[in-house]
Amino acid sequence: MNILLTGGAGFIGRWVARQLLGEGHHLWILDDLSNGRKENLHEFEGHPGLEEFIVGSILDEKLLEGLFNAHNFDICYHLGASINVQDSIDDPSTTFNNDTVGTFYILEQCRRHNTKVVFMSTCMVYDRCNEETGITELHPTKPASPYAGAKVAAENMVLSYYYAYGLPTVVIRPFNTYGPFQKTGGEGGVVAIFIKNELNGLDLNIYGDGTQTRDLLYVEDCARFVVSAGFSDKVNGEIVNAGLGKDISVNDLALLISGDPKRIKHVEHIHPQSEIQKLLCNSDKASRILSWKPEISLEVGIRRTREWIQSGGLA
């Protein structure tokens, strides 16, 4: 298949690229490198399936038009987005443009070329979880930050193209994802930052009281889920979650990674108003219609991430 992957030079995108290339598809990657890195794609240099890596923006309508006219994409995996909650609070315009307007431009091209759209949303659109059975796709959403608001708006547009035009589209909502190639600096994910600090003998800083929980999904499990959504007709017009199905408090995560309570510090939360107190995924729908299940436990995932960071990562 001819596949366009936006955000392919990012953390999750490079794993999605890896799987698609491994399955023998023809792949075009579009990324503006605002948060991605060319180095994330080094492994695939010279791969016969990697047709082109285009450094450019989903906001460039002319560029998109040229790409879609030239290559007749069967599927577009749309991962390109601004992903940082705090950045979205400080500068909502960038997040809204990339995550909502950019998605609209992608949809318009897909409509013209009848290209299937796999839209990468996020668990951050959900309201806090109150049940031990976890968050299903019917759980209420709450746009607690402009990041979540921009994703919900884009999700609605993606589903409207299914209803109004019969375009095959799907909204996927992976839970917090971690693993090798995630950035370990301030803009990275909590697992990567904690491991990096632990290895460097630094304190692990927790925002707020640390009782907030996360359902942490290993990145190769996430990529397998993302790819499978592109090849199933049953998911068209649907919203589908993916997570580990277990949540852990940030306090317990810090202890699991460091083992030394003295190294764990609590600092004032930077955006308490946009925090989601409990995130626990119910992936029954993904299991039912995609036969997808997570395979990597948190302990194994943390070990693999630590080994990658220890071996130098890309920092």
Ligand X SMILES: NC(=O)c1ccc[n+]([C@@H]2O[C@H](COP(=O)([O-])OP(=O)(O)OC[C@H]3O[C@@H](n4cnc5c(N)ncnc54)[C@H](O)[C@@H]3O)[C@@H](O)[C@H]2O)c1
Q: Residues in the site for ligand X, rule: CB under 6 A?
A: 6-7, 9-13, 30-36, 57-59, 79-83, 98, 102, 120, 122, 174, 176-177, 189
**Which of 261, 180, 193 shows the shortest CA–CA distance to 220?**
180
Residue 132 gets which letter from DSSP? T
Measured in whole angstroms, the distance separating CA 89 from the mean position of its chain's CA atoms is 19
* Cβ atoms within 10 Å of 295's Cβ, excluding its own: 11
Residue 194 in tokens: 């904690």
What are residue 96's phi and psi, to 5 degrees?
-60, -45
Measured in whole angstroms, the distance separating CA 14 from the mean position of its chain's CA atoms is 11
Q: How far is the CB of 94 from ligand X (least distance, A)?
A: 8
CB-nearer residue toward ligand X: 33 or 70: 33
Separation CA 147–CA 83 (nearest Å): 7
Q: How far is the CB of 299 from ligand X (least distance, A)?
A: 19
CB-nearer residue toward ligand X: 13 or 134: 13
Is the Cβ–Cβ distance between 219 and 11 less than 8 Å?
A: yes
**One-letter amino acid of 86:** Q
Is the Cβ–Cβ distance between 279 and 175 less than 8 Å?
A: yes
Q: Which residues 6+ apart lie within 8 Å of 71 measured at CB?
A: 2, 4, 28, 51
Pick the catalytic residue from 147, 161, 178, 218: 147
**Can 147 be counted among the known catalytic residues?**
yes
Q: How far is the CB of 129 from ligand X (least distance, A)?
A: 16
CB-nearer residue toward ligand X: 86 or 203: 86
Q: How far is the CB of 161 from ligand X (least distance, A)?
A: 18
CB-nearer residue toward ligand X: 241 or 258: 241
- Tokens 């799987």 identify what position? 19
CB-nearer residue toward ligand X: 64 or 263: 64
- Tokens 């930077």 identify what position? 270
What are residue 177's phi and psi, to 5 degrees?
-110, 145
Residue 1 in tokens: 């298949």
* Cβ atoms within 10 Å of 262's Cβ, excluding its own: 7
Q: How far is the CB of 207 from ligand X (least distance, A)?
A: 16
Q: How far is the CB of 59 from ligand X (least distance, A)?
A: 5
Q: Residues with catalytic annotation?
A: 147
